[in-house]
A and B are shown apart, each in its own frame.
Chain A
Amino acid sequence: MNNQDQSLIFEISTNGRIGYSLPEMDVEAVLLEEILPEGYIRIEEAALPEVSELDIMRHYTALSKRNHGVDSGFYPLGSCTMKYNPKINENVARYNGFAHIHPYQDPSTVQGALELLYDLQEHLTEITGMDQVTLQPAAGAHGEWTGLMMIRAFHEANGDMARTKVIVPDSAHGTNPASATVAGLETITVKSDENGLVDLEDLKRVVGADTAALMLTNPNTLGLFEENILEMAQLVHDAGGKLYYDGANLNAVLSKARPGDMGFDVVHLNLHKTFTGPHGGGGPGSGPVGVKADLIPYLPKPLVVKQDEQFKLDYDRPQSIGRVKPYYGNFGINVRAYTYIRSMGPDGLKAVTENAVINANYMMRRLEPFFDLPYNRHCKHEFVLSGRRQKQLGVRTLDIAKRLLDFGYHPPTIYFPLNVEEGMMIEPTETESKETLDAFIDAMIQIAKEAEETPEVVQEAPHTTVIKRLDETLAARKPILRYQA
């Protein structure tokens, strides 16, 4: 045995054990050799585990105990909106009529599913202030790429072939420039000013006849609202470009400002953030895209439409950028998001944002005496502290993050955005109580004190987790990406 306290499933496998119960073979069993061509019958069996059902349940229960989710404890991971995942969503998504329907059934036999999708499109259209929404993209980054492909198609349809540049702020999520690249466009970075907002003068410098779009997150990744949004929209539109809204931070502005009213032409949402599709350990998500009227022809196909009280899939969309995903999107996640929106209603969604913003500002003000706050103004749903002060004491932000693990918390997003030194991006969300925030704040204050008095306690953290800090360099230098007996 290795030096380990958690076996791999392969290590508890024993020849002859089974964990399955296949249906009865009620037809004649024909020899494979009679049906399959020579050389195409598998000889060596795939080395999957051989374990009993209880073995499986114990194994995964043990693994689950080695994992921290929102249900385990506070998870203030900035920009990820780790709010509570309502349990009703999980139940509804498992209804037979939602979980066990096939995408190619005759539309007359799936009217309930199409109605739900149509109604979700309508709800998201109102929430974003756009003219039409597609539910096809599978995730936020997929939505970004879909939106940029549409913008590119729009410009090309106008003969505007030279519009190949996407302007992205230096504080943007890494997916923004990557999405531009895979949409066949080039990225230009626009600087932030001393207030953490897009530098208007720099924007004037980079915007021009080659501008395809400006991609913006608002509030931005510092949790600050881009106050000059109307001037920026005007600049970009006057130059013939389009305005793209990264909806990662929509939780900050529900019922307060709609991307459509701010001048955005395209918006993607992360239903797994704002609208409680669970994050699932990294996915699946859902990344619907909303557009203004002039971009509707370019939406991916099909689109769910309503005609004569019947719900249909519209494939007759000659200018569409095409399909971005097989079938109609991550339906199961869309069902969860729809259930959430219907649980909250208009007044509920308004309270979501108000409470999320109060929580963030409260934490920011209480932590301000103990950590540097590079951009000192009211934040929206999240804020960014700097660990500069602690760094001078030899304690890095990474150490602070690891020390938080000892208190049972998931740390904030660290070292992001890139324009903050030793950054810690904290997003509490609206589903956390004041008591939870206070306890986390107390832990942060204690760590700040430890940094001054007993820095080694922070530097050597974590002390209580099932495993200590891992050697990531070794993992990359000598990659072991699968189990080998």
Chain B
Amino acid sequence: MKHRYLPMTEQDKQDMLQVIGVPTVEDLFKDIPESVRFQGEYDIKPAKSEPALMKELARLASKNADLKNYASFLGAGVYDHYAPVIVDHVLSRSEFYTAYTPYQPEISQGELQAIFEYQTMICELTGMDVANSSMYDGGTALAEAAMLASGQTRRKKILLSKAVHPESREVVKTYAKGQRVEVIEIPYKDGVTDLAALKELVNEDIAGVIIQYPNFFGRIEPLKEIEEIVHAAKSMFIVSSNPLALGALSSPGSLGADIVTGDAQPFGIPAAFGGPHCGYFAVTNKLMRKVPGRLVGQTVDEDGKRGFVLTLQAREQHIRRDKATSNICSNQALNALAASVAMTALGKKGVKEMAVQNIQKAHYAKKALLQKGIEVVFEGPSFNEFVIKLPASFSKVNKNLFEKGMIGGFDLGTVYSELNDHMLVAVTELRTKEEIDALAQELGDQHE
């Protein structure tokens, strides 16, 4: 068996077996009981050469309609954004992507410092004191936030707005089942969390209240009013945020959030059919020692030189074992690096400019659609998404758009039965006026 990843020659093998003191490699597997020893080879596809495999997989990839060749108005948590070209050049440095978790700080300063910088940037955008080194994604980060709130307050109920991403809500419910926490949903009204219902539901048994900002419908939730209601019950205020939006919107931290989570996918991370993305997790100083996952901290070496280490590890699963409140181990370090590079490239001015472009292009799209007689529902302040009522069935509209080179928005009827044939439209900075006009034209034509 010769393979480019396997350097052992026949001679090596003989020499090594001799040192080990066994005649054949099979002798090293004799401790596996005969009855369970697998005989022969797996019934899987045969190996392919590098060129043949690349060709086959390129053909498979070409069966997919991709965002580079279609104008996408699909968002709903995953967005088609400007990713500075430099991001992939940094990610391709294999000193980063072939490294393990930086447990040996002397030879991992690069990764540790990059994560320290990432934590800082997340703190800046969210207005929070402490951010961890990343979580799997926005959905699981939110679920962990709910569990943190339950552990911290010793309460077993969570209030979850129905204007939070539907799949994140499902993940929160699965995690809650694990730790026997009850999840109660708050209805929405006119596209935002129903504050009257929230007031009804919140009480001293509620561990935390979860709001998305901007919410799943793109609307900007009134965090200030919600914060007062939540904190009056001594409940924890958990906000899930698109971090790009925070380039233009007041930060949840400045509006009183206790925990802010979300997904850094808008910063240089490709859609990749839903993953890997990059969950972020930020808290106030008070909760520093309750944060799940890894934290990088600054310290000094024996000569007093600045350096970075994984710190406060007493919180983590490998130390606490069955006392742990989170089991996260691997995270999304490489994607946190991607987000760092993108946030660095955008910088102070660019992150704001990009956020504002999203608001303005979405605003333009709303007007263009209204002019074609399309109804915008839940009208009100929004970021880069909004809801329209379709002039025909969703599947028909979407098919027509696809034929015109466009990927339509999200089918809200699949998760909100009251919103059949409603579409959540996302307009990022990458959509041109021409593309937006084409969308309006196509939908307008169906209207007539």
Bound Cα distance from A332 to B348, whole angstroms? 30
Q: Is B318 in contact with chain A by the CB < 8 A criterion?
A: yes
- Residues of chain A within 8 A of B407, CB atoms compared: 102, 105, 109
- Residues of chain B within 8 A of A431, CB atoms compared: 5-7
- Residues of chain B within 8 A of A348, CB atoms compared: 1, 3, 6, 47
Contact partner, B381, options A35, A145, A354, Cβ 8 Å: A35
Give, as a whole number of angstroms, the nearest-CB distance from A343 to chain B.
Answer: 6
A36-B220, A110-B65, A182-B325 given as contacts; is B170 within 8 A of A323 (CB)?
Answer: yes
Q: Is B445 in contact with chain A by the CB < 8 A criterion?
A: no
B-contact 0/1 string along A417-441, CB 8 Å cutoff: 0000000000000111110000000
Bound Cα distance from A178 to B329, whole angstroms? 10
Bound Cα distance from A332 to B146, whole angstroms? 28
- Residues of chain A within 8 A of B296, CB atoms compared: 481
- Residues of chain A within 8 A of B165, CB atoms compared: 326
The reply to whether A178 and B61 form a contact with Cβ atoms under 8 Å apart is no
Q: List 29 A-B contacts (CB under 8 A).
A: A20-B82, A27-B361, A36-B249, A36-B381, A42-B250, A50-B348, A64-B96, A67-B102, A97-B61, A100-B67, A103-B273, A104-B410, A111-B64, A144-B327, A184-B178, A187-B322, A279-B97, A281-B100, A281-B111, A322-B170, A322-B173, A326-B139, A332-B273, A350-B42, A405-B104, A430-B5, A430-B6, A431-B5, A475-B297
Give, as a whole number of angstroms, the nearest-CB distance from A31 to chain B.
Answer: 10
The reply to whether A127 and B44 form a contact with Cβ atoms under 8 Å apart is yes
- Residues of chain A within 8 A of B175, CB atoms compared: 182
Contact partner, A351, options B1, B17, B137, B402, Cβ 8 Å: B1
Q: Is B53 in contact with chain A by the CB < 8 A criterion?
A: yes
Q: Is A333 in contact with chain B by the CB < 8 A criterion?
A: yes
> Which of B76, B138, B139: most chain A Cβ within 10 A?
B139
| Nearest chain A residue, comparing its CB with the CB of B301 | A468
Give, as a whole number of angstroms, the nearest-CB distance from A319 to chain B.
Answer: 13
- Residues of chain B within 8 A of A257, CB atoms compared: 32, 36-38
A-contact 0/1 string along B349-385, CB 8 Å cutoff: 1111110110111011000000000000000010000
- Residues of chain B within 8 A of A261, CB atoms compared: 36, 38
- Residues of chain A within 8 A of B114, CB atoms compared: 60, 63
A-contact 0/1 string along B151-179, CB 8 Å cutoff: 00000000000000101101101110111
A68-B95, A323-B171 given as contacts; is B363 within 8 A of A35 (CB)?
Answer: yes
Bound Cα distance from A201 to B423, whole angstroms? 62
Q: Is A84 in contact with chain B by the CB < 8 A criterion?
A: yes
Bound Cα distance from A184 to B323, whole angstroms? 12
Tell me which of B125-133, B193-201, B204-212, B229-237 binds A: B125-133
Give the total number of A-B pairs whose CB atoms are below 8 A apart.
699
A145-B178, A282-B294, A284-B276 given as contacts; is B140 within 8 A of A29 (CB)?
Answer: no
The reply to whether B107 and A42 form a contact with Cβ atoms under 8 Å apart is no
Tell me which of A71-79, A237-245, A388-396 binds B: A71-79
Given contacts A174-B320, A410-B104, 15 further A-B contacts (CB under 8 A): A19-B347, A36-B248, A37-B222, A56-B344, A61-B93, A100-B80, A177-B324, A184-B179, A283-B331, A327-B167, A342-B48, A346-B43, A433-B8, A471-B301, A482-B123
Bound Cα distance from A300 to B326, whole angstroms? 20
> How many chain A residues touch the partner (CB < 8 A)?
203
The reply to whether A346 and B93 form a contact with Cβ atoms under 8 Å apart is no
B-contact 0/1 string along A244-285, CB 8 Å cutoff: 000000000101111001110000000010000011111111
The reply to whether A284 and B107 form a contact with Cβ atoms under 8 Å apart is no
The reply to whether A66 and B113 form a contact with Cβ atoms under 8 Å apart is yes
What's the interface size class on B, roughly?
Answer: 35 or more
The reply to whether A279 and B100 form a contact with Cβ atoms under 8 Å apart is yes
Tell me which of A289-297, A357-365, A444-452 binds B: A357-365
The reply to whether A68 and B108 form a contact with Cβ atoms under 8 Å apart is yes
A101-B271, A430-B6, A469-B301 given as contacts; is B327 within 8 A of A178 (CB)?
Answer: yes
Give, as a whole number of angstroms, the nearest-CB distance from A433 to chain B.
Answer: 4
The reply to whether B109 and A138 form a contact with Cβ atoms under 8 Å apart is no
A181-B324, A434-B12, A467-B307 given as contacts; is B109 within 8 A of A256 (CB)?
Answer: no
Within residues 208 to 225 of chain B, which ones have a CB less than 8 A from any CB in chain A?
A: 220, 222-224
The reply to whether A256 and B13 form a contact with Cβ atoms under 8 Å apart is no
Bound Cα distance from A26 to B133, whole angstroms? 37
Q: Is B392 in contact with chain A by the CB < 8 A criterion?
A: no
| Nearest chain B residue, comparing its CB with the CB of A364 | B20
The reply to whether B98 and A71 form a contact with Cβ atoms under 8 Å apart is yes
Within residues 1 to 36 of chain A, which ones have a CB less than 8 A from any CB in chain B?
A: 2-6, 8-10, 13, 17-23, 25-30, 32, 35-36
Within residues 51 to 95 of chain A, which ones have a CB less than 8 A from any CB in chain B?
A: 51, 53, 56-57, 59-72, 75, 77, 80, 82-86, 88, 90-95
- Residues of chain A within 8 A of B25, CB atoms compared: 354, 357-358
The reply to whether A40 and B180 form a contact with Cβ atoms under 8 Å apart is no
Ordered nearest first, which 3 A-B pairs have the shortest CB separation?
Answer: A327-B274, A345-B47, A97-B61
Bound Cα distance from A481 to B130, whole angstroms? 7
Within residues 40 to 74 of chain B, which ones have a CB less than 8 A from any CB in chain A?
A: 41-48, 50, 53-54, 56-69, 72, 74
The reply to whether A98 and B363 form a contact with Cβ atoms under 8 Å apart is no
